[in-house]
Amino acid sequence: MDEEILYFKSRYFYLLVSLILFLLINPFLTASHLSNFILLIFFTLIMIFSVRSVSHQILLNIITVGFACLCFLSYGYIVWIGESQVAYIIHFSLTVIFLTIILLSVIVSVAKQRVITVNTLFGAICGYLLIGFTWSFIFLLIDSIDPTSFSIHIEHESIRAHIDHFIYYSYVTLTTIGYGDILALKSVARNFSWLEAAVGQIYLAVWISQLVGLRIVGLQNKIAKKDGHL
């Protein structure tokens, strides 16, 4: 019972759930008004729980909320008013900035942890998923600016229905699987692709070493306390 309470009290639990649900549901959405509404709901939830997960510093919270509102308004403009290349570039730019702030906040918060807790584990997983999620919008931004950047180009009229292509490409790159069905053709796209792969591997290597180190220290402290009582 206590363990379940810890899950729900974790500042990263709901962000993690919303990210996973978005990634699982998005491929099944089609280019319809209902799908757009569902996508907007999940994107809004991610923004809300992202804001909830950041530092308690007032200035950072204000900046995060501000960019979250701008992202919401820009996406709403695309859905209900009209689609254009400029609108997509603005929306993707705002989203990249917003997600970058959240990503850095989560990584810094997790790196400061000195004891392994449920909150620490959720934060570490969120950090990894956010890397892939952030780069998805970076690739979408690059494609919006230069449609020849990738071997697959999604027309703006159907980009919401096929955003999963760039989410797929991002996580395939992040995990260094590299199936090769989507290729980066221009230098900017290539540079951001290898940069994502490098960041993903560095994140895993640094976090795993920190996790192991914290675990060892925790076990040593328990043994020391136990020996002290004997």
- For the whole model, what pTM was predicted? 0.85
Residue 111 confidence class, pLDDT cut points 50, 70, 90:
confident
Residue 4 confidence class, pLDDT cut points 50, 70, 90:
very low
Arithmetic mean of pLDDT, 84-110? 90
What pLDDT, in 10s, does the model give residues 157-188? 555 556 888 999 999 999 988 888 889 999 99
> Which stretches of 54-117 are DSSP H helices?
58-80, 85-111
Residues 57, 51 contacting (CB under 8 angstroms): no
Provide the residue count of the chain: 230
Run of H or E residues at 217: helix 187-229
Arithmetic mean of pLDDT, 2-6? 47
CB atoms < 10 A from the CB of 108, how many? 12
Q: What is the pLDDT of residue 191?
A: 97
Q: What is the pLDDT of residue 55?
A: 64
Q: Provide the residue ranges of all domains of the chain, joining segments of one domain with +.
A: 2-229
